[in-house]
Amino acid sequence: MAEIVLSNVSKSYGAVPVIDNVSLAIPSGELVVFLGPSGSGKSTLLRMIAGLETIDSGTLTIGGARCEHLPPGQRGVAMVFQNYALYPHMTVRENLAFGLRNVGMTSDVITRRVAEAARILEIGMLLDRRPAQLSGGQRQRVAIGRAIVKEPRAFLFDEPLSNLDAALRVRTRVELAELHQRIRSTMIYVTHDQTEAMTLADRIVVLNDRRIEQIGTPMEVYSRPASRFVAGFVGSPAMNFLDVVLEGRGAERAAVLASGMRLPLAIGGAEAGRYQLGIRPENLRVLPSGGDLHGEATVIERLGDRTLVHVRLPDGATVTAQDTGRSALVPGAQVSLGIERREIHLFDEDGRASHAEPAAVALATA
C-alpha cells in the first residue's frame, strides 16, 4: 500500500490544456473515485499517475518516492482497463501468469500468486478456460486478477464496468467493494457514473473542466455540494434549481421566488442579491394542502418505493418532487409542495454554494 500525492500537476496536448494545476493527496489504503463528465480530465489524470501520459509540470509521489519521470513498470501500480485487454489464445491461468513470467519470476512464486488471486476473486474453476469461454463479468474479474498478481502498491481502475449490462454492473460493483475491504490497497477508480462513485468511494474527487471542483466523502459531496456544477451533476434525479432574490437580514431573511412567494431561510454567508435556490427532489415533498409551492403535475414516475412528480409552477418553471410509492396523483392534478428548509442550497452568479444552517426550520407542513 502507498500514499499517492499529486502537487500542482498540469498537462496539455499542444496548446490545449487537459489538466490544470491539480493537487491531491490519497492516503494509503483509501478507495478514491474520480467522478466527472466526459472531457473533465479524469481518465487523463489516472493515466498520468500510471505513467501512460507524461506530466508537463508538477510532481507525483507514490509511497514517498518521486515518480513523475519513472516508466510505468517502475511505479508500483497496476491498471485495469475498460476493455479487459486479455490475450484470447491464452487460458485464464496463462493470462494471469504472463506478466510475471516476463519479469523473470520463478515458477513457484507465479503459481502461488495466481492461486491467491484466483482464491480472492473466486475464479479457480475458470483457470483452464480461454477468454472466449467467459462472460463479461468473468473477463473483468480475470483482468482484475492480472493486476492483483503483481502485488502493486496501488490499483488504478479506468471505467472497468462500462462494458457490462446493468445487472452485471451491480454485482461486479459489489465484488469490487468487497475486494477493497479484503485487501485494503490504495485504489483509484475513474467513472462518470455517480452510483458507482457513491457506493464505492471512501472519498470522491469531482472533476470539471480540467480542475477539481470538490473532494469529500460521498455524503459530503451529495449533501454539501461546493458548487452549482457539483449540485447538478451528483444526484439522480437531479437537483431542482429556482431563480430567487435573497432579501432581509437575520430572522427576517427570505428568498423571494419569481411568483412572489417569500420563503424564510436560515442561510449562512450569503449576502442579499440574486441566486439560484437548489433543492433535491426528496426534500421537496407532496403535501395534502398548504406548502411552499403550488403547481400542476405534468408527469408521474412510479418507482415502487417512491413516486417522482414533475410539477409545472405558475411562472413556467418545472421541478421534480417526491411522493409516496402509493401516490394517487395523476397528470393534470394540482399539487402542493413543502420544502425541507434545512436542505436548501443557494448558488451565486459564479456557482459558489451557501448552505442552510443546521438549525434551519424543518419541513413546513402548514
Q: For 293-313, what is each residue's pLDDT tens digit? A: 899 999 999 999 999 999 999
Least confident segment among 122-126, 270-274, 275-279: 270-274
For 327-349, how does the pLDDT look when each residue is reduced to its tens digit (9 = 90+)? 999 999 999 999 998 899 999 99
- At 335, give phi and psi (nearest 5°): -125, 140
d(CA 191, CA 197): 7
Q: What is the mean pLDDT of residues 203-219?
A: 95
The overall average pLDDT reported for the chain is: 90
Distance between the two ends of the chain, CA-based, in angstroms? 55
For 67-87, how does the pLDDT look when each residue is reduced to its tens digit (9 = 90+)? 999 999 899 999 988 887 889
The cell numbers describing 286, all together, are 407532496
User: What is the reported pLDDT for 363?
Assistant: 39
Residue 290 one-letter amino acid: G
User: What is the reported pLDDT for 122?
Assistant: 85
Collect all residues with Cβ–Cβ distance below 8 Å to 363 and sequence separation of at least 6. Answer: 285, 338, 339, 340, 341
User: What is the reported pLDDT for 17?
Assistant: 92
Q: What is the CATH number of domain 239-355?
A: 2.40.50.140
User: What is the reported pLDDT for 1?
Assistant: 59
For 153-171, how does the pLDDT look when each residue is reduced to its tens digit (9 = 90+)? 999 999 888 877 888 888 8
Whether the pLDDT of residue 46 is over 90: the answer is yes
For 49-71, how does the pLDDT look when each residue is reduced to its tens digit (9 = 90+)? 999 999 999 999 999 999 999 99
Q: What is the mean pLDDT of residues 198-207?
A: 95
d(CA 250, CA 55): 49
Whether the pLDDT of residue 172 is over 90: the answer is no
Q: Are 311 and 278 in contact (CB under 8 A)?
A: no
User: What is the reported pLDDT for 112?
Assistant: 94
User: What is the reported pLDDT for 359?
Assistant: 46
Q: Are 233 and 226 in contact (CB under 8 A)?
A: no
DSSP 337-359: EEE-GGG-EEE-TT-BEEEB-TT
d(CA 134, CA 335): 52
CA of residue 113 relative to chain centroid, distance: 32
User: What is the reported pLDDT for 358?
Assistant: 59
For the chain, the domains span: 4-229, 239-355
Q: CA 360 → CA 146, 277, 356, distances in Å?
A: 52, 15, 6
Q: What is the mean pLDDT of residues 345-364?
A: 73
Neighbours of 316 (CB within 10 A): 8
For the chain, how big is the Rg over CA atoms in Å? 25
Q: What is the CATH number of domain 4-229?
A: 3.40.50.300
Q: CA 83 → CA 78, 140, 194, 335, 362, distances in Å?
A: 15, 8, 20, 48, 48
Numbers of helices and strands, H then E, in the chain: 8, 21
User: What is the reported pLDDT for 292?
Assistant: 86
Whether the pLDDT of residue 364 is over 60: the answer is no
Among 18-32, 153-167, 176-190, 256-270, the range with the most confident prediction by mean pLDDT is: 18-32
The cell numbers describing 187, all together, are 485504489
Among 108-112, 172-176, 251-255, 360-364, the range with the most confident prediction by mean pLDDT is: 108-112
Whether the pLDDT of residue 362 is over 50: the answer is no
Is pTM beyond 0.85 here? yes
Collect all residues with Cβ–Cβ distance below 8 Å to 26 and sequence separation of at least 6. Answer: 3, 4, 5, 32, 186, 188
Q: Are 43 and 81 in contact (CB under 8 A)?
A: no
d(CA 202, CA 364): 34
- Three-class SS state of 69: coil
Neighbours of 350 (CB within 10 A): 7
- Three-class SS state of 133: helix
Whether the pLDDT of residue 366 is over 70: the answer is no
Q: Do domains 4-229 and 239-355 have the same CATH topology?
A: no
